[in-house]
A and B are shown apart, each in its own frame.
Chain A
Amino acid sequence: MSRILIVAEHDGAKLKPSTAKCVSCARNVPDAEVTILVLAADGAAVATEAAGLEGVKTVLRVDRPENGHALAAVLAPQVAALAAPYTHVFGPSTTFGKDLMPRIAALLDAPQLSDIMAVESATRFRRPTYAGNAIVTVEVDAGVTVVATVRTASFEAAKAGGAAVIEAASTDAALPTHTRFAGVSAASTDRPDLQSAARVVSGGRALGSADSFKLIYSLADKLGAAVGASRAAVDAGYAPSDMQVGQTGKIIAPELYIAIGISGAIQHLTGIKDARTIVAINKDGEAPIFEVADIGLVGDLFSIVPELEKLLSA
């Protein structure tokens, strides 16, 4: 049997959808027993939510004031101290998990598999390398703890409907004070979260300015969509970095992805290849984005986007 510990990602009040995706990944491991670990200052609400995910047997809750912010240096020793009974330790391949999981792996003297996209057995997994240009199947030696980050775009979120037992846990792990949270600046937005949105509208360099990016926001709002951007658009300052979609930004799998004025560099395509339907709007009919788009429209985005928005309102 595989005993899988999943480190929950949350904001103190709510569980992030990335955790439910890790649960689905874990359930693809044959004969798996799934435990979610909630490290928080007060994890009551998050633990209850985690316990409601289908397929979860146990939720471990560790409440410590130091866990108020997700600092890898503070969380890792606690996870490592609780990890002994488990064969696998999973976290999401979000910036939270990418930051935390290798620190845990090092404390456990275990190897890490990054971005697992498919499970072939308890020890065999598939993951992307070279910005998604080469997919490798890897086998971990028997008896070695498998620490992994889960590529969230590759798995559906586990549904609600579970009834796991919630257990309080504690560790005597010494926690460092050398790392301190000093603040976060997030563009406050009523739009859906880019990483979990069903619809995403993205803009590229062809927008030409931060001001014309308003076209993208406006269309997104009409569709109830999240807003993304290509690396070129972010580098040019048209959109903030947390909107970047692609291998070095966010990897997403929405139902509908609309790429506007994006040529389709390989690193961008890697970030969207699991989208259900890709729409491309670009003035260059030869742009690589059209090679992967389900629906392509060649033309001037500055006339097409307002027209599209009007049609959608009709």
Chain B
Amino acid sequence: MKRILVCTKRVIDFNVRVRVKPDGTGVITDGVKMSLNPFDEIALEEALRIKERGGAEEVVAATIGPADCQQQLRTALAMGADRAVHVVHDAGLEPLAAARVFMKLIEKEQPFLVLLGKQAIDDDNNQTGQMLAALWQRPQATFASRVELTDTTARVTREVDAGLETLEVDLPAVVTTDLRLNEPRYVKLPDIMKAKKKPLESLPFADLGVAATARVRVVRTEPPAQRQKGIMVKDTQELVAALRTRGVL
């Protein structure tokens, strides 16, 4: 079966204004709206479009996390994923351990393409896709803004600092998605109903034989330093004068 695996993460919704806990032990998550990581949503959308134009037969969405993650997997199923795999794990995982978990799923699912967001908007690590490609010893095409497939290769346009770079990679491969690859579809009510009947498999983390090794400890979480509000000027002459006073012209 020609299969695409989409790796996702449940994160604080991008519209939530994230606040640091007063005791510096993390950010406030109680009662905060959670969502599918937006970059992963783009990855899923791309997988669905590939399938819809006949480039794949099955789209599998996967995630790692506590029981609540099933909500986001149901969203993925409502968007159009054929089935979902939930690796149940209550604590956080470092990106390399997450990549090892997804590697286990690759061994099981044998996808020809793995899509995931370029980063999760909580930890902003931007690591898992690249690490997964390294473990798999397969190509990586990160920050994709365009993906074109043939039977054996993918031609991926990447958003890089210099402009747009194009890579040709042999399949199977890992592609991580950037913002402008596509615009994810809205989920409609009938799709949500249909998603309830789609298969969602739960795998206990312990059964995968991956060590939850943590080697980086968060010692403290703080809000960022605030910039001071400056002066307001009336017109361009005052603006130029103010710039001269500050010595930046």
Interface residues in chain A, defined as those with a beta carbon under 8 Å from any beta carbon in chain B: 71-73, 76, 94-96, 98-107, 109-115, 124, 128-141, 144, 176, 178-187, 195, 199, 231, 234-235, 240-242, 247-248, 250, 255-256, 266, 273, 276-279, 290-299, 304, 307-308, 311-312
Indicate if the CB atoms of B223 and A134 lie closer than 8 Å.
Answer: yes
Listed by A's residue number, 15 A-B pairs whose Cβ atoms lie within 8 Å are A98-B142, A103-B134, A104-B134, A110-B96, A111-B96, A111-B216, A186-B163, A242-B161, A248-B179, A290-B229, A294-B231, A294-B246, A295-B246, A296-B231, A299-B235
- The 7 lowest CB-CB distance pairs between A and B, nearest first, are A186-B163, A294-B230, A106-B134, A102-B130, A102-B127, A106-B131, A178-B170
A sample of 15 more A-B contacts (CB under 8 A), given A111-B215, A131-B18, is A96-B161, A99-B142, A99-B143, A109-B96, A110-B96, A114-B126, A180-B167, A182-B155, A186-B164, A187-B163, A241-B159, A273-B227, A277-B248, A297-B233, A308-B239
Contact of A106 among B99, B217, B232 (CB under 8 A): B99
Interface check B91, CB cutoff 8 A: no
Output the nearest chain A residue to B242 by Cβ-Cβ distance.
A295
Point out the residues of chain A lying under 8 angstroms from B138, CB to CB. 178
Point out the residues of chain A lying under 8 angstroms from B125, CB to CB. 112, 114
Point out the residues of chain B lying under 8 angstroms from A180, CB to CB. 167-169
Indicate if the CB atoms of B135 and A106 lie closer than 8 Å.
Answer: yes
Say which size band chain B's interface belongs to.
Answer: 35 or more
Point out the residues of chain B lying under 8 angstroms from A103, CB to CB. 130-131, 133-134, 140
Bound together, the chains give a CA A103 to CA B215 distance in angstroms of 17
Bound together, the chains give a CA A235 to CA B222 distance in angstroms of 31
Indicate if the CB atoms of A184 and B160 lie closer than 8 Å.
Answer: yes
Point out the residues of chain B lying under 8 angstroms from A276, CB to CB. 248
Indicate if the CB atoms of B124 and A72 lie closer than 8 Å.
Answer: no
Indicate if the CB atoms of A137 and B220 lie closer than 8 Å.
Answer: yes
Indicate if the CB atoms of B248 and A94 lie closer than 8 Å.
Answer: no
B213 → A minimal CB distance (Å):
9
Bound together, the chains give a CA A117 to CA B120 distance in angstroms of 19
Contact of B239 among A105, A111, A242, A295 (CB under 8 A): A295
Indicate if the CB atoms of A241 and B130 lie closer than 8 Å.
Answer: no
Interface residues in chain B, defined as those with a beta carbon under 8 Å from any beta carbon in chain A: 12, 17-20, 27, 94-96, 99, 121-135, 137-143, 145, 155, 158-170, 173, 178-180, 215-224, 227, 229-240, 242-243, 246, 248-249
Query: Counting chain A CB atoms within 10 Å of each CB, which of B122, B243, B249 scores highest?
Result: B243
Point out the residues of chain B lying under 8 angstroms from A277, CB to CB. 243, 246, 248
Bound together, the chains give a CA A35 to CA B126 distance in angstroms of 25
